């Protein structure tokens, strides 16, 4: 599996995903909204909005192992 890079992160902007972090944690059902430059240094931040929330949060791109795309059709059937 390849590393989660800036180019692969751009392909998920505007989509609902599960973010799998390098420490083994998973951030479930978020919509990626933007990629921003950090104020200090040259790190990139991944901005996301959790489902059912309106406030955006940020996580360093280097902490993300990969993103798993969600199938919205399955979620709509179960609700």
Which pLDDT value is given to residue 79?
Answer: 52
Phi-psi category of 37—alpha, beta or left, where left has phi over 0 and alpha has psi -120 to 50?
Answer: beta
Among candidates 8, 33, 51, which has minimal Cα distance to 59? 33
Per-domain boundaries in the chain: 6-78
User: Over its length of 79 residues, how does the chain's per-residue pLDDT go in tens digits?
Assistant: 567 888 999 999 999 999 999 999 999 999 999 999 888 878 899 999 998 888 999 999 999 999 999 876 665 555 5
Architecture of the domain made up of 6-78:
Roll (2.30)
Decide: 20 and 70 in contact? Cβ < 8 Å.
no
Phi-psi category of 65—alpha, beta or left, where left has phi over 0 and alpha has psi -120 to 50?
Answer: alpha
Which pLDDT value is given to residue 49?
Answer: 95
């Amino acid at each position: 599996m390849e590393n989660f890079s800036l180019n692969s992160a751009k392909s998920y902007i505007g989509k609902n995903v599960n973010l799998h972090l390098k420490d083994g944690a998973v951030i479930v059902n978020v919509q990626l909204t933007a990629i921003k430059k950090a104020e200090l240094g040259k790190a990139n931040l991944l901005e996301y909005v959790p489902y059912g929330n309106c406030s955006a949060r940020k996580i360093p791109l280097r902490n993300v192992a990969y993103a798993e795309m969600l199938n919205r059709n399955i979620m709509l059937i179960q609700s």
